[in-house]
């Protein structure tokens, strides 16, 4: 399991989230209050180098007009952001290299129905599938 500190760091850490996240309980409390919209931007920009790709990913989580008028995400939007951050943190852990993780996250994968792991992570079950692939990679379990 990925450390919650790593998930929080993908979203900008204490500077963005407003508190240090040390446990699942801390993460749950932070997410349930709604996180600053900047956390979503930081999360997608960690993976997408193209501004257009980052915007598309952001606005698949929160509609553009909603994003512009709010300062915080709703709890549901915050959960979707945390889910992306969790998959990103898992990939960075598995690959032990941010660039290799980025490449893996943004390439279609046959075991994900030719979707990228990030596209798959737009749903909880898809995120679980991506995390399962990463676990197999880390532990040397054949696909």
Q: What are the residue ranges spanned by the domains of the chain?
A: 4-139
pTM above 0.85, yes or no: yes
- Residue 114: how many other CB atoms lie within 10 Å: 9
Question: Which residues sit opposite 109 in a β-bridge?
Answer: 115
| Residue 140 confidence (pLDDT) above 90 | no
| CA distance linking residue 101 with residue 78, whole number of Å | 22
| Cα dihedral across residues 112, 42, 40, 62: positive or negative | negative
| Residue 1 confidence (pLDDT) above 80 | no
| CA distance linking residue 119 with residue 57, whole number of Å | 9
The helix (run of H) or strand (run of E) holding residue 95 is: helix 75-95
| Residue 110 confidence (pLDDT) above 80 | yes
**Of 21-25, 107-111, 136-140, minimum mean pLDDT range:** 136-140
């Amino acid at each position: 399991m990925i450390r919650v500190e790593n998930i929080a760091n993908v979203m900008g850490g204490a500077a963005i989230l407003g508190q240090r996240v040390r446990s699942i309980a801390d993460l749950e409390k932070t997410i349930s209050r709604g996180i600053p919209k900047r956390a979503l931007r930081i999360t997608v920009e960690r993976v997408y180098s193209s501004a257009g790709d980052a915007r598309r990913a952001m606005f698949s989580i929160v509609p553009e007009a909603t994003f512009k008028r709010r300062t915080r995400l709703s709890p549901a939007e915050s959960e979707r952001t945390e889910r992306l951050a969790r998959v990103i943190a898992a990939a960075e852990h598995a690959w032990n290299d941010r660039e290799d993780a980025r490449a893996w996250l943004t390439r279609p994968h046959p075991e994900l129905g030719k979707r990228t792991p990030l596209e798959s992570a737009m749903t909880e079950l898809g995120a679980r599938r991506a995390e399962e692939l990463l676990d197999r990679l880390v532990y040397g379990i054949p696909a």
